Structures are given as structure tokens and as C-alpha cells.
A = this chain, B = another copy of it.
Amino acid sequence: MANDPLSMWNGSARTDILQFVARVTQKGGRDYVPPAERIATFDNDGTLWCEQPLQVQIFFASDRLKALAKKDPTLKDRQPYKAFLELDLTTIHELGKDAVFEVAFATHAGGTEEEFDSAARSWLASARHPKLGRLFTQCVYMPQLELLDYLRANGFKTFIVSGGGIDLMRAFAEEAYGIPREQVIGSSVKTRFELRGDRGVLVKLAQLGSFDDREAKPQNIQLHIGRRPILAFGNSDGDLAMLRYVKSGDGARLALLLHHDDAEREFAYDRDFNLSPLAEGLDRAAEYGITVVGMRRDWKAVFPAPDSARS
């Protein structure tokens, strides 16, 4: 890594990243940023791992609903559960991102946080992507793992700021990305504190706390981190508020947007993915000062070797 810290990266995106990191870490330089302020925030779905044909959260909810439908078979005939159970993409896409995620989060209501974590880990250990065939945890992007490592080696603290459920991400982010649980920000439901005998537990409720998308991303960055990051990476219009918040701070800042244009190695989509479209971001990236990373052109590799050691 010392010789080529971004060995899986090509072209101008790679150059932008290297130059930015050099500027903010050069002691005495005009753009020097002390380590405590080197905060980098990454979206997760579509930025750190695959989100096609559906976000992983939805596959998890579908399997959870299958278990619930054994107790309550009427779920099989009621929308939107029917669509989740059948993975009916058309109906799910028509619901829209907010509604889809609200349904997904609500399927876990009533369990404790610790039960959820155990169920999520167990599911992730064997659940596979329906088209790619590999474990979901192997649908992470190798160049991003390299970038996260590179940033941390340069004194950055790396965070996830994603619309995905905060607890599902926490169940694998430490192992997959090297990002500890307390540096994961995501959508969340409200919880109730309960004493069961002498044991205090937190029970997940069906009520949404925060849907961490669009303007909620900078709001949750303020709530959880309390500093304006100096680097942010996203892949959809839902990330633009975060990217513009980051980019418009004083001093050197880097905002990046991954464009999925690689039908051969992954998927090609942008404006047409109505669960998380990328349209304004493509049209106005230059105006907003955002670096667009083209997967096909800028990444030498995409996924790890199937079922490699990390699984």
C-alpha cells in the first residue's frame, strides 16, 4: 500500500483523492487540517456495497416477513407485505424509498436491540445476492475498502451516513469496512427502555425515529458527529445535501459521487432507479464541485474474489 495506496483506482478521481489528502495532511500547508477534524462520511447502499436490484435491507425484511407469515398467513395476501414476500420489484419500486424502508424497519418491531443484532449477523452469514450469487457481505466494493484504509492511514476518522437501517449496518460494518458501531449513522426506529427482571433492554418500536436520507444526512451528521466533515462520498440524489454541506465548508473539501455505469462488472443505472435515483447529481456535479467517479473507467476492480477469506 505504501507504494500505491490506491492501486485499484484509475484516472482523475484517483488524482483528486491523492491531491486532496496530500493538501490536508501537509503540516504547515495552507490547507492543513488537524487529525481531529479529518472526518470522512460515506453513504452505504450503492456507495460501499451493491444496492441492485434492491437494497440489502429489503431482502432481509423479505426473509423476516417469511418467518412472520408462518404465524400470520394473511400477510401473503396483503400489500405491501405481499410484494416483499414475492420480491415483486415493480410494486416495491412503485412504493418509493421512504415507504419501502418504513415497511422494512417495522418488520423488526417488538424485538430487543440485542436480538436484532444476533438475527442480522446470522442472516448475513449465509444470505446471498440473487443475481451475483455471492454473499451480500461479499458485495462490497474493493476500491472503497482501499480508500477507507488509505484515509484512516492518513489520520481520518471514517463514518457511514446512510439511509440503511443503523442496526443492520452495525452488524457487519466493523468486519467489512473497519468502521466501528459508534461511527455508523443510519435510519433508525424509536426504542423503549424496559427492565425485564433486573436486566435493562431496548425494544425496537414500529415508529420511525429518523429516515437518514436527503436533508436528514447533514442533520444527523450534526447530531452524531457535531463537525462538518471534510470528505463525503455518495451515489444518489439522496446524498446531495450531505455532499453540498461538506463541500461548502471553509478550506479544502472533497465530495465524490459514484456513477454506476458498469453493466458488465456490476450494474448500470442512474435516473431510472426510482428507489434511489441519480439525476440532479449528474446534471449539476460540476456546478456543485462534486467529483463523479465512473465505476467502469475509474475502478480497476469491483468485488472481492467470491467467498474469499473475509466471508
Contacts and interface: CB of A to CB of B under 8 A. Distances in A.
Given A193-B219, A199-B248, A200-B241, A227 B188 contact: no
Nearest to A214: B193
Protomer copies:
2
A286 B248 CA distance: 53
A211 to B, nearest CB: 14
A223 B209 contact: yes
Contact of A223 (B166, B195, B198, B219): B166
A1 to B, nearest CB: 23
A113 B223 CA distance: 10
A218 B245 contact: no
A168 to B, nearest CB: 11
A219 B199 contact: no
A245 B113 CA distance: 13
A39 B113 CA distance: 17
A47 interface: no
A191 B209 CA distance: 15
A224 interface: yes
Given A113-B222, A166-B226, A224-B182, A200 B157 contact: no
Given A202-B218, A202-B222, A195 B227 contact: no
Interface string A181-205: 1111000101111010011101000
Interface in A144-167: 157, 166-167
A241 B193 contact: yes
Contacts of A170: 226
Nearest to A174: B36
A300 to B, nearest CB: 32
Contact of A180 (B36, B188, B218): B36
A215 interface: yes
A226 to B, nearest CB: 4
Nearest to A113: B222
A296 B167 CA distance: 43
A3 to B, nearest CB: 30
Given A36-B174, A198-B248, A200-B248, A222 B191 contact: yes
B219 A202 contact: yes
Interface in A233-255: 241, 244-245, 248
15 contacts: A36-B180, A166-B226, A182-B183, A184-B226, A190-B219, A191-B219, A192-B215, A193-B215, A193-B219, A195-B248, A199-B248, A200-B244, A202-B218, A202-B219, A202-B245
Interface of A: 36, 39, 113, 157, 166-167, 170, 174, 180-184, 188, 190-193, 195, 198-200, 202, 209, 215, 218-219, 222-227, 241, 244-245, 248
Given A167-B226, A195-B244, 14 more contacts: A170-B226, A181-B226, A182-B225, A182-B227, A191-B219, A191-B223, A193-B215, A193-B219, A198-B244, A200-B218, A200-B244, A200-B248, A202-B222, A202-B245
